[in-house]
Chains A and B, each alone.
Chain A
């Protein structure tokens, strides 16, 4: 039931001491929760850790993917993607940064593996052409390499999505 408001209290609005007014709500009712603070997007979110640390971590992930490929652990891009998804969620990185980052990490990882093979003198280009012809693709080295990098990237992107979905909501979010 609403308390009766006297006219004198209405006249006092805007005058000194009017801060005491406020009892115009329902008597005995639950006070509504205060509104959520508005967080505009233009300010830079607070990232945990330094930028250089993130970059070094990305480089380490690339090397990890490349090293895992050498020993036949082909699913490392997926694992890296999951970890990246959790980390970027906690770290406050938005999708428009984490998606390209994890794509580059994964592609660079397998690309690094191919490059290391080429450095060792293995005929990677000719092998790529062979793979293309055997697989029924247009004869050329570019497409098999592109598909290889795309498979790695696809794994990492799926892992990123899963990691972000599974990661707990950060306290500031």
Chain B
């Protein structure tokens, strides 16, 4: 018999062993598999692999010989001290292989994030926080469009060749990563790694770009406004057409009818277009007589407003600035006496409406018949903005309406069906599975009508016919632009551009300048396209404005073209191109630039550089005197007096360190809110949820801002300042109240010293230099930013709400190209000199020397010379690539 003391020892030993085994198992599980948001800590934090291995991506590249199996011949890449590469290849496809390799090497996280955003696979990476984005994108159809485009693209075409070659280069680098395990940290921490890159991914990224630059929600906005304010007041405040400022195409205009959409890429709208027929004069069918409103728009009933609010909420819930084309960029083209020494000049600032500020990747490419330098968008082959040996070009947003919204006629007794052209039809359904990291897999069914995807069934069934869903041969167009030698070739290339609708600024070495609008502008046979329209067929799209009839300017007599997202044509233009709510020139930068350039001549690149670097805000310059006048007549608290005195000495420049700019950044949206908010909140016709959505959309510095500016200056007693049932107000009293509210808010957030309320602090915005990696906390919710003290992150604040980002952050890539009509050379070339800069760096790895090396220079208004197109790779760091 075992004594008690022996048995107790056995029990203790067994218990100890069991406890040890459980503890070891728990540690193993945590290290090997992770738990609830925690990654597998063992492999992730292993010093030789996992997240620490990403340190190798932070090393400055060295000269080396690399094997890239996708090449067909040797290629060379050289890097200048700033990390800007020059590619020399023996063929254009090999150049694209090298470009894909470069993009993957330095911007893989950005590329993977962009394709996940576009293809509705974000939540597979970030977890449940990405579900709303995925649902919206899968509904809208970027992935469907990309797949359809690729399926329809002839595989022997030049574009298919470029896309395939580019994908090959990306995959060659991915293969290297898989064997080395040196993934960027974000993938290791998430435990989700990029899949192979395909041409569909590039096309999806292209669609994401189109959505970011040109997804219009104007009809949804008008529906909500009409419900809240009444249709008459809405159209009075936000008319379809108004006296246009600084058009670059003053006419005369040609009504060339309508181009019907055709081909496999016409998408869901093709049937409607064919059924509606083509022909008719554009002047008669798309001009906007007031009588067109009657009976041709869906009455903004409560249910319609609910549907509009739901659709708008879905679009605005996307990652920052993903939908809607925030900011338009600007370009100024000059020639003749405006340019010292003759020739032409093109200065541009290009927008990137992405959560990732440094989305551009600068590159120079040289291959037989393809010599181009400029900026590319990782994920897409080719150069988007830049110059070749003869021409320079840039692109920017323009006033347009890229989406038509239809209220489908449905019936509870006919589920899954809608009424169109006299009979009931079945909706087509597409089903998706949305994998969610550390969450339950979601399933989504998307209904499609002849118009497009159904966005919402809340209240009413609303579908959208978005021009981006029709596909666009952007890659082929950009390749042809890169090879263009004159304006004829340039416009011939642009004729194929469909989406996004953009204005291309142009200058060449023959001294010509131009602005050409390209893209699909939908034309409806009847109805009010700025409102939700009935989906029964009569208001369907008939086609698009012919390319030849789109706004264009070539060598204007004033020798200056200014493009800044403003309405490009006068009210005499015979086609509908959006309303006053569609314009993107929030701060009248077009007018400001036009006035400045009109007064000057014989300009040099430094003169344009100074203009680009100027952060002067025209709205502030126009309205701050009115504000100060109103404050002089008011009784102010001590802190308000301090804030007012800060404003008095302001030069209206939106410098990050400026306290006056910070105060204005808070006052302007407060003024908007104080003017329009009471109308909105008092709107009996809007449900509370609709009201919340609409408020955030309408008061975000869009069309109402321009109306407010106009009333403040010319009509300070406008009834808009006095909501129904309220005491009479004027612009001055509203400004006074807004100023007080803004100061109170700033004091609560930033303390009691107005002199310290710099714009950087107010906007919660710092220099965003991180392209991607640090913007995606994988262990926390997907957010647009965190840790304001970091120089890696960005998030919106009142500056964005006020549309002030135009002056601060909407302008990213800055470029100045001077094209001289030089001495005749055997090659017949002129001389081109170019410089450019963007805030950030070529590498997305924060540990890299090339991560934020360009930011300081950008903030100080500096530039870097761009390699001449066709230059030999001359940098010290050279890669020799062989198959």
- Evaluate whether A148 and B185 lie within 8 angstroms (CB atoms) in the complex, with A122-B56, A123-B59, A134-B774 already known: no
CB within 8 Å of B: which A102-150 residues:
110, 113-114, 117, 121-124, 126-127, 129-131, 133-136, 138-139, 144, 147-148
Q: Which residues of A contact B50 (CB under 8 A)?
A: 74
Instruction: Kindly state the interface size class of chain A when it binds its partner.
Output: 35 or more
B774 touches A155 (CB 8 A): no
Complex Cα distance A126/B773, Å? 13
Complex Cα distance A72/B357, Å? 34
CB within 8 Å of A: which B1-60 residues:
13, 16-17, 19-21, 23-24, 26-28, 31-32, 41-43, 45-52, 54-56, 58-59
Is A166 in contact with chain B by the CB < 8 A criterion? yes
Is A151 in contact with chain B by the CB < 8 A criterion? yes
- Evaluate whether A136 and B780 lie within 8 angstroms (CB atoms) in the complex, with A75-B42, A113-B47, A117-B55 already known: yes
Is A71 in contact with chain B by the CB < 8 A criterion? yes
A131 touches B185 (CB 8 A): yes
Q: Which residues of B contact A164 (CB under 8 A)?
A: 20
Q: Which residues of A contact B790 (CB under 8 A)?
A: 133, 139
Complex Cα distance A60/B55, Å? 27
- Evaluate whether A147 and B45 lie within 8 angstroms (CB atoms) in the complex, with A126-B58, A164-B20 already known: yes
Contact of A133 among B26, B46, B54, B774 (CB under 8 A): B774
B189 touches A135 (CB 8 A): yes
Contact of A113 among B48, B58, B189 (CB under 8 A): B48
A121 touches B59 (CB 8 A): yes
A123 touches B55 (CB 8 A): yes
B55 touches A151 (CB 8 A): no
CB within 8 Å of B: which A2-26 residues:
none
B46 touches A159 (CB 8 A): no
CB within 8 Å of B: which A140-173 residues:
144, 147-148, 151, 154-155, 158-159, 161-162, 164-166
Is A69 in contact with chain B by the CB < 8 A criterion? yes
A70 touches B787 (CB 8 A): no
B20 touches A78 (CB 8 A): no
Q: Which residues of B contact A130 (CB under 8 A)?
A: 54, 185, 773-774, 845-847
A33 CB, min distance to chain B CBs, angstroms? 9
Considering only CB atoms and an 8 Å cut-off, how many residues of chain B contact the other chain? 50
- Evaluate whether A165 and B17 lie within 8 angstroms (CB atoms) in the complex, with A134-B185, A139-B787 already known: yes
Complex Cα distance A139/B792, Å? 10
A74 touches B55 (CB 8 A): no
A162 touches B42 (CB 8 A): no
B48 touches A69 (CB 8 A): yes
Q: Which residues of A contact B87 (CB under 8 A)?
A: none
Q: Which residues of B contact A74 (CB under 8 A)?
A: 31, 42-43, 45-46, 49-50
A69 touches B47 (CB 8 A): yes
Complex Cα distance A168/B13, Å? 10
Is B161 in contact with chain A by the CB < 8 A criterion? no
In the complex, the chain B residue whose C-beta lies closest to that of A115 is: B47
A34 CB, min distance to chain B CBs, angstroms? 14
A161 touches B23 (CB 8 A): yes
A106 CB, min distance to chain B CBs, angstroms? 12
Is B635 in contact with chain A by the CB < 8 A criterion? no
Complex Cα distance A165/B10, Å? 12
Q: Which residues of A contact B31 (CB under 8 A)?
A: 74-75, 78, 151, 155
A136 touches B779 (CB 8 A): yes
In the complex, the chain A residue whose C-beta lies closest to that of B849 is: A123
Complex Cα distance A131/B51, Å? 7
Contact of B847 among A70, A123, A166 (CB under 8 A): A123
B257 CB, min distance to chain A CBs, angstroms? 54
A127 touches B52 (CB 8 A): yes
Instruction: Find the residue from B21, B846, B848 having the highest chain A CB count within 10 A.
Output: B846
A26 CB, min distance to chain B CBs, angstroms? 18
B23 touches A158 (CB 8 A): yes
Q: Which residues of A contact B186 (CB under 8 A)?
A: 134
A160 CB, min distance to chain B CBs, angstroms? 9
Is B778 in contact with chain A by the CB < 8 A criterion? yes
Is B793 in contact with chain A by the CB < 8 A criterion? yes
Q: Could you give, for residues 635-652 of chain B, a 1 whenever the CB lies within 8 Å of some chain A CB and a 0 otherwise?
A: 000000000000000000
A69 touches B780 (CB 8 A): no
Q: Which residues of A contact B42 (CB under 8 A)?
A: 74-75, 151, 155
Q: Which residues of B contact A71 (CB under 8 A)?
A: 48
A133 touches B24 (CB 8 A): no
Is B677 in contact with chain A by the CB < 8 A criterion? no
Complex Cα distance A117/B186, Å? 19
In the complex, the chain A residue whose C-beta lies closest to that of B787 is: A139
Is B250 in contact with chain A by the CB < 8 A criterion? no
In the complex, the chain B residue whose C-beta lies closest to that of A166 is: B17
Complex Cα distance A71/B66, Å? 23
Instruction: Find the residue from B41, B42, B48 having the highest chain A CB count within 10 A.
Output: B48
A154 CB, min distance to chain B CBs, angstroms? 6
Complex Cα distance A6/B610, Å? 125
Complex Cα distance A144/B56, Å? 17
B47 touches A114 (CB 8 A): yes
Complex Cα distance A78/B787, Å? 36
B19 CB, min distance to chain A CBs, angstroms? 8
B35 CB, min distance to chain A CBs, angstroms? 13
A76 CB, min distance to chain B CBs, angstroms? 9
- Evaluate whether A162 and B20 lie within 8 angstroms (CB atoms) in the complex, with A133-B792, A135-B778 already known: yes
B116 CB, min distance to chain A CBs, angstroms? 16
Q: Which residues of A contact B792 (CB under 8 A)?
A: 133, 139
Complex Cα distance A7/B34, Å? 79
In the complex, the chain B residue whose C-beta lies closest to that of A154 is: B27
Contact of A72 among B28, B43, B56, B780 (CB under 8 A): B43
A127 touches B54 (CB 8 A): yes
Is B181 in contact with chain A by the CB < 8 A criterion? yes
A72 touches B59 (CB 8 A): no
Q: Which residues of A contact B13 (CB under 8 A)?
A: 165
Other contacts beyond A70-B47, A126-B847: 6, CB < 8 A: A69-B47, A117-B55, A124-B55, A126-B846, A130-B846, A161-B24
* Residue positions of B touching A, CB distance < 8 A: 13, 16-17, 19-21, 23-24, 26-28, 31-32, 41-43, 45-52, 54-56, 58-59, 181, 185-186, 189, 773-774, 776-780, 786-787, 789-790, 792-793, 845-848
- The 18 sampled A-B contact pairs (Cβ below 8 Å) are A69-B46, A70-B47, A74-B50, A78-B24, A78-B27, A78-B28, A110-B45, A122-B58, A124-B52, A133-B774, A135-B777, A136-B779, A139-B789, A148-B47, A159-B24, A161-B23, A164-B20, A165-B16
Please give me the 7 A-B residue pairs with the lowest Cβ-Cβ distance, nearest first.
Answer: A113-B47, A126-B847, A136-B780, A123-B847, A70-B48, A136-B777, A74-B42
